[in-house]
Amino acid sequence: MSILHQPDPAPITRQLRAMFGSRLLLAAVHHLNVFDLLSAGPLSLTDLSQQLRLAERPAMVLFPALCAMQLLRYDKQNRLTISELGHYLVQDQTPNLTGYTGLEKDDPGVVDMVQRLLHDGPLESPQGISFVKEGDGPSPMDDPESARMFTLGLAGRARLLAPIVAANLPKHNGHLLDVAGGTGYYTYEWLLVNPAATATLLDRPAVLTVAAELLDGFARSGRPGADTVPNRVTLLPGDMLTDDLPQTDLLLAGSLFHDWPTATCRQLARRFAAALRPSGEIWVHDSFLNDTLDGPLATTDYSAQLFCVTKGRCYSRAEHHRWFTDAGLTPMQAAIPTQLDYGLIHARKL
């Protein structure tokens, strides 16, 4: 099926992630008592976070989600306040729904979410955190079995989105650096529509073992030009946080920033900017929060999922723009939707 006619399977991923949004809701109502606290009056995001003892990351996961659920909203002074709907979650209001929602409050997923919100992550993660390699600690992405499992887990999504991303990235005869490129499908599809271009796929060695097998299958697919792709792509094992990055015309950061805390995103933006040649561009493919931090629901649910399984969360376009501006790049305003509630934004080295 041509990508122009391909249906968007977003309802499937929305349903998958709704579970994490439900856990946030029950954690907020029954364990953190957000609605009873706010029934005394509106609070700024900072004051509310302080009263609940929430760090920045859990706060930026929880409050945009409760706004997206239409249970909280921002007032004219930009304070969080309970919406008309949200009052049904205040215990002192009659009638309210807290007895009913409370029937699910001890669900293990909810109890786990509460711990994560209060501790900004799991209490301990001896095996490392999925999709993340940082420092000398263990990483599932360096263990052959789990790296294969995680990488192949993303393969279907990558195959679906990669042709759409490739069609929207600039046409170029130069070089693409796909940082933390996983399966490599975004690189392979882009090289197919840019027959004179070359690319580097950077990831952990155990991930690249899987990527090489997928590249072989891609090259043998019989699609016109696919057999030329392996000669134009370099698989580069490395650590994007510490290793020198090759110079490039285009840099793709797909599903990357959302695995990391804000300080690391800022650091990565600076490293990526330094790898760009003059007029080079960084392209981010991700699911973005509204700049007003109040949705969309598909992204706040995704953010809750990422909060549980990575060191990151979803970020707004404005947050990305700040990192890029600080790194000396010029953010371009237009955002291009792809599918699965994802989109593309980019910034240029002038």
Ligand X SMILES: C[S@@+](CC[C@H](N)C(=O)[O-])C[C@H]1O[C@@H](n2cnc3c(N)ncnc32)[C@H](O)[C@@H]1O
Q: Is 61 in the site for ligand X (CB under 6 A)?
A: no
225-244 positions binding ligand X, by CB under 6 A: 239-241
The single residue among 20, 63, 131, 272 that binds ligand X, judged by CB under 6 A, is 131
**CA trace torsion 211, 217, 220, 222 (10° rounding):** -110
The single residue among 189, 203, 249, 341 that binds ligand X, judged by CB under 6 A, is 203
Is 87 among the catalytic positions? no
Q: Is 344 in the site for ligand X (CB under 6 A)?
A: no
DSSP string, 167-217: HHSPP-SSEEEEET-TT-HHHHHHHHH-TT-EEEEEE-HHHHHHHHHHHHH
**Radius of gyration, alpha carbons of the chain:** 21
Q: Is 343 in the site for ligand X (CB under 6 A)?
A: no
Calculate the CA 140 to chain-centre distance: 18
Q: Up-side HSE of residue 110: CA atoms within 13 Å toward CB? A: 17
User: Least CB distance from residue 105 to ligand X, whole Å?
Assistant: 31
CB 333 within 8 A of CB 343: no
Q: Is 255 in the site for ligand X (CB under 6 A)?
A: yes
Site map 285..324 versus ligand X, x via CB under 6 A = ----------------------------------------
124-131 long-range contacts, CB within 8 A, separation 24+: 129/309, 129/310, 129/311, 130/309, 130/310, 131/259, 131/309, 131/310
The single residue among 90, 141, 191, 214 that binds ligand X, judged by CB under 6 A, is 141
Supply the DSSP symbol for 77: T
206-225 positions binding ligand X, by CB under 6 A: 207
Q: Is 132 in the site for ligand X (CB under 6 A)?
A: yes
CB 274 within 8 A of CB 324: no
CB 73 within 8 A of CB 294: yes
Stretch that binds ligand X, among 24-32, 127-135, 262-270, 326-334 (CB under 6 A): 127-135
| Token pair listed for 79 | 């304070």
The single residue among 154, 167, 193, 332 that binds ligand X, judged by CB under 6 A, is 154
Q: List the catalytic residue out of 258, 320, 321, 346.
A: 258
Stretch that binds ligand X, among 14-22, 93-101, 200-208, 264-272 (CB under 6 A): 200-208
Residue nearest ligand X, Cβ-based: 182
Cβ nearer to ligand X, comparing 66 with 235: 235
Which active-site residues does the annotation give?
A: 258
Residues that bind ligand X (CB under 6 A): 131-133, 141, 154, 158, 180-183, 202-204, 207, 239-241, 254-256, 259
